[in-house]
Structure 1
Amino acid sequence: MGRRAERVYTDPTDIAMLEKWVKELAVNAAVRIVKQDGVVVEGMVSVTPTVQVFLGPGDQEGMNGVVRLVDSHRPDWDGLVWLGDIRDVQHLDSVRTGASRA
């Protein structure tokens, strides 16, 4: 993955939301993610995501991050979800870091 993102965030409130998703998405957690566009994806978090600096449109520097989900029933599935695209995270198991859902 490159250092480019469709959307980057600079507002402290938006960055706090990205960081909230990081806390919700602990490694090995089975989750259902509802994206801003209503698409729902499910899988197991393969690596805890981090908020990082990316370049957005017009080379604007800002923050975003990705979480990679894996699904043993779809081994070739590209389960990348941008943190900025998440509307809700629902836990399907007990692996959780203590943050509450939005």
Structure 2
Amino acid sequence: MGRQAQRVYTDEASIRQLELLVDELPAQGHVVLLMKDGSSCDGVVSARPTVQVFRDADEHEGINAVVQLQRPDVPEWRRRIWLDQVLRVEHLDSGMAGES
């Protein structure tokens, strides 16, 4: 992945929201991501995401993060999701159920 993102954030509130979402996405956790556009996606977190510095199309530097989901029952399925598009995380595994 390059260091480009559609959207980057520099304000403290947005960065904190991204960090809170990262905290809810443990490696190998089975989750459903409820998206801001009303869609959802479920899968297993391949690795805990981290907030990183990216540049947008106008070369503004800021923060965003990406999580990669996979499905063990469908090995070729993978989906990368920008965390700024996630509204809420629901946990499907017993380890974090009810903590979202």
TM-score of the pair, normalised by structure 1 = 0.90
Match of 2:51 in 1: 51
- Give % identity: 43
SS in 1 for 2:76: coil
Q: Is the 8 A contact 1:65 1:82 kept in 2?
A: yes
What are the superposed Cα offsets for residues 15-61 of structure 1, whole Å, 9 maximum, x if unpaired?
Answer: 00000011000001100001111111000011000000000120010
Shift of 1:95: 3.2
Shift in alpha-carbon separation, 1:59–1:83, aligned structure 2, 3 A: same
Moved more, 71-80 or 20-29: 71-80
Answer yes or no: is the 8 Å Cα contact 1:36–1:85 preserved in 2.
Answer: yes
1:47 & 1:53 partners in 2: Cα distance? 18
Structure 2: segments with no counterpart, 5+ residues: none
Q: Distance in 1 between matches of 2:24 and 2:14?
A: 16
Q: Indicate the SS of the match to 1:58.
A: coil
Larger strand proportion, structure 1 or 2?
A: 2
Q: One-letter code of the match for 2:25?
A: L
Larger RCO, structures 1/2 (Cα 8 Å, 6+ apart): 1
